[in-house]
């Protein structure tokens, strides 16, 4: 592509070289994610990584710029992420566009996509995923642009990556863990679904894409604010966000204490404990998401033997009798863990110790917050991917590298 293609962008204050080098992780490829991705691809952002486990449904057509043709639907099995990435590759104006797609839940990819991005964009309608993304972005020092909409109303914020600044969870602190509220959260999220409309998605997508472009140019937000808009009244107002002293989120970027090669292990959580203890001594591992041992079926409320991370459980949180993938348990109580004492909680014959590491969310690219004798920081897992299979998955990626969309532009 010739430089002339970017002449208007340059007049508008964009630096095509900066945008071409920019890398943006977009979590959520629904109406909002598509409108953001479209603007960023047209604006010349070089690398976009789309993450979404969902598939297109007919009613998405009225607010999906990249709604698939029949052929495209077939080719991508209806999955949103590869469809959107492919269409972005077709309209990209960067000289070397790199469009990627992962058809899975963001939690299942570990932290690598976040660590690799310059800016993280939350375009999901799940409070769980937003809170998770906010936390992981801050740990890795990545700014996050987050927004949501319902009908004609929308709101968005840009969260600085700087230590001490407000985070998404400051104003959504209730969602620390699913240990007591998975069913509540599911019900609340279901009730929050107000039909999205394309005009709001386009306007909000434009605001969020422009925030992202500013961040790529090094313009960090000076204030912590949230913008509220209404496309029918054509209004936007802003409210200052205050740091919540009781926020459950991490407000600091954390140093990497150590990297652990996953190839060193036979693959159980006990190996993880041994490797961590050998490198950084005793302490507490905070899992990237809660690990459910037993949890109640959202169909019949009986307890299931889960032994999986929350995102794996949430793919289909029903027992086998209710049509889900999880076996029933004779447990009398729900049981989950969010922290593991190393090595104490991961030795001997406890179910956790013998659980495959991947089941704990410990795949290549994952990282854990660790607090112990070596201080507070991250433990990053590197190298070979660990095979992970979770019940309820249907060919969507569990982890592993994103699908790279070839550049087929003329």
Residue numbers at the binding site for Zn ion (CB under 5 A): 167, 169-170, 247, 249, 297, 299-300, 319, 322
Nearer to Zn ion, 86 or 224 (CB): 224
The CA distances from residue 180 to 17, 147, 332, in Å, are: 48, 26, 15
The CA distances from residue 294 to 40, 304, 324, 337, 344, in Å, are: 42, 5, 15, 10, 21
Nearer to Zn ion, 141 or 299 (CB): 299
Distance, CA of 59 to CA of 184 (rounded, Å): 26
Report in angstroms how near the CB of residue 162 gets to Zn ion at its nearest: 12
Nearer to Zn ion, 299 or 385 (CB): 299
Distance, CA of 169 to CA of 32 (rounded, Å): 21
Distance, CA of 34 to CA of 64 (rounded, Å): 7
9: helix, strand or coil: helix
Q: Which residues contact 378 (CB under 8 A, 6 or more apart)?
A: 139, 254, 255, 256, 257, 367, 368, 369, 370
Cβ(297)–Cβ(318) under 8 Å?
Answer: yes
Report in angstroms how near the CB of residue 268 gets to Zn ion at its nearest: 29
Specify the DSSP class assigned to residue 161. -
Nearer to Zn ion, 79 or 312 (CB): 312
Other Cβ atoms within 10 Å of 354 Cβ, number: 12
Cβ(224)–Cβ(344) under 8 Å?
Answer: no
Report in angstroms how near the CB of residue 300 gets to Zn ion at its nearest: 3
Report in angstroms how near the CB of residue 140 gets to Zn ion at its nearest: 15
Nearer to Zn ion, 279 or 302 (CB): 302
Nearer to Zn ion, 76 or 169 (CB): 169
Specify the DSSP class assigned to residue 325. S
Distance, CA of 170 to CA of 241 (rounded, Å): 9
Report in angstroms how near the CB of residue 316 gets to Zn ion at its nearest: 11
Both structure tokens of 389: 């299979």
Report in angstroms how near the CB of residue 191 gets to Zn ion at its nearest: 21
Nearer to Zn ion, 108 or 226 (CB): 226
Could you write out the DSSP letters of every residue in 238-300? EEEPPP-TT--S--S---EEEEEEGGGS-SBHHHHHHHHHHHH-SEEEEEEEEEEEEEE-TTT
Nearer to Zn ion, 155 or 160 (CB): 160
Report in angstroms how near the CB of residue 136 gets to Zn ion at its nearest: 13
Report in angstroms how near the CB of residue 333 gets to Zn ion at its nearest: 17
Nearer to Zn ion, 236 or 247 (CB): 247
Report in angstroms how near the CB of residue 114 gets to Zn ion at its nearest: 17
């Amino acid at each position: 592509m010739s430089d002339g293609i970017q002449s208007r962008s340059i007049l508008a204050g964009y630096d095509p070289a900066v945008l071409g080098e920019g890398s943006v992780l977009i979590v959520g490829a629904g109406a909002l994610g598509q409108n953001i991705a479209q603007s960023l691809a047209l604006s010349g952002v070089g690398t976009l990584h789309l993450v979404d486990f969902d598939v297109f449904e007919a009613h998405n057509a009225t607010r999906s710029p990249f709604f698939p043709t029949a052929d495209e639907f077939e080719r991508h099995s209806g999955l949103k992420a590869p469809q959107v990435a492919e269409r972005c590759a077709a309209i990209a104006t960067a000289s070397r566009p790199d469009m990627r797609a992962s058809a899975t839940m963001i939690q299942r990819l570990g932290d690598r996509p976040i660590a690799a991005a310059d800016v993280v964009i939350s375009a999901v309608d799940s409070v769980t995923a937003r809170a998770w993304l906010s936390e992981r972005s801050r740990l890795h020092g990545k700014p996050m642009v987050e927004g949501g909409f319902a009908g004609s109303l929308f709101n968005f914020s840009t969260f600085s990556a700087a230590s001490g600044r407000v985070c998404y969870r400051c104003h959504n602190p209730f969602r620390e863990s699913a240990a007591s509220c998975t069913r509540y959260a599911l019900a609340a999220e279901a009730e929050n679904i107000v039909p999205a409309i394309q005009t709001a998605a386009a306007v909000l997508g434009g605001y969020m894409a422009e925030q992202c472009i500013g961040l790529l140019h090094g313009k960090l937000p000076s204030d912590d604010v949230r913008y509220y808009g209404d496309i029918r009244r054509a209004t936007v107002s802003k409210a200052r966000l205050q740091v919540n002293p009781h926020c459950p989120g991490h407000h600091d970027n954390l140093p990497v204490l150590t990297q652990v090669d996953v190839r060193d292990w036979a693959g159980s959580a006990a190996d993880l404990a041994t490797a961590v203890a050998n490198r950084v001594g005793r302490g507490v591992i905070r899992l990237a998401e809660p690990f459910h041992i037993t949890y109640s079926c959202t169909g019949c409320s009986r307890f299931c033997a889960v032994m999986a991370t929350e995102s794996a459980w949430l793919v289909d949180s029903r027992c086998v009798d209710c049509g889900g993938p999880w076996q029933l348990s004779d447990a009398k109580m729900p049981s989950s863990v969010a922290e593991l004492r190393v090595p104490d909680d991961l030795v001997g014959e406890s179910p956790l110790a013998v659980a495959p590491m991947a089941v704990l969310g410990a795949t290549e690219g994952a990282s854990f917050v660790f607090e112990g004798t070596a201080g507070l920081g991250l433990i990053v897992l590197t190298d070979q991917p660990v095979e992970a299979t979770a019940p309820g998955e249907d060919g969507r990626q569990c982890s592993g590298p994103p699908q790279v969309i070839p550049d087929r532009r003329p």
